[in-house]
Amino acid sequence: MSRGATRAGGGIPHYKAVVIGGSAGGVEALATILPALPGDFVLPVLVVQHLHASDDGAFSFHLANLTQLPVAEPCDKTKVEPGRVYTAPANYHMLVERDGTIALSVEGRVNWSRPSIDVLFESAAQAWGEALIAVILSGANTDGARGILAVHAAGGLTIVQDPAEAGSVVMPQAAIATGAVAHVLPAGEIGRLLADLGGRKTNLPPGYRHSIRQSTA
């Protein structure tokens, strides 16, 4: 099996989707990342943010004010479309099927969380393999670490918010400790990198490839 995303024309990896997971401090990081995505951003973005079980779409509404991209809490079997942001509803796990539709589930909590980042990332890794970009943001538990491993094992690109600036370091550090993280970056740079990887016009150098950076954290 080939490793690394397939290259389109000029040596640029060809990605199909972005998944983002955050917990405590994650909303602040999203507030930096999402505004950086251009209106012509072509990748779908699936977000799991740990929420209070009674959140009634308020989080999704909040994100919609941060980005030019349309944001919605998906219903079960929603087809994932380019340039849209999907937020996991409170109290449901959000998974991706291989046919690119979203599946919701109320099965038990994973890492004390529903939605769980691992559940999204592991299913997305199955669905999109090396064409997936996964981002772990600030958080106070270790949800997402297994997911990062799965994304990396499937050949996808893994990015973690720099613990030095994260509101809570536990989640980024757990992800980095897997040894499967390619980039450790501040939220501002994550936004710019995503914009480069998923914008219509990409500014990446021709030789760009994603590699595992030795983490310093």
Kindly list the residues in this chain that would bind other proteins in the complex (CB under 8 A).
1, 56, 73-78, 89, 92-93, 95-98, 103-108, 119, 122-123, 126-127, 129, 154
| Residue 21 near residue 175 (C-beta atoms within 8 A) | no
Cβ-based nearer residue to other proteins, 94 or 171: 94
Tokens encoding 100:
């690119």
Sorted by sequence, the CB contacts under 8 Å of residue 58 that are 6+ apart come out as none
Min CB(105)–other proteins separation in Å: 5
Instruction: Name the region of 200 (left: φ>0; alpha: ψ -120 to 50; beta: rest).
Output: alpha
Is residue 143 annotated as part of the catalytic site, yes or no? yes
Give the CA count within 13 Å in the CB-facing half-sphere of 200: 5
Residue 160 is classified by DSSP as E
Q: Which of 139, 187, 196 is nearest to 161 (CA)?
A: 187
Cβ-based nearer residue to other proteins, 134 or 170: 134
| Catalytic residue (one of 50, 93, 183, 210) | 50
| Catalytic residue (one of 60, 113, 138, 143) | 143
Min CB(204)–other proteins separation in Å: 28
Cβ-based nearer residue to other proteins, 53 or 207: 53
Min CB(189)–other proteins separation in Å: 31
The set of catalytic residues is 23, 50, 143
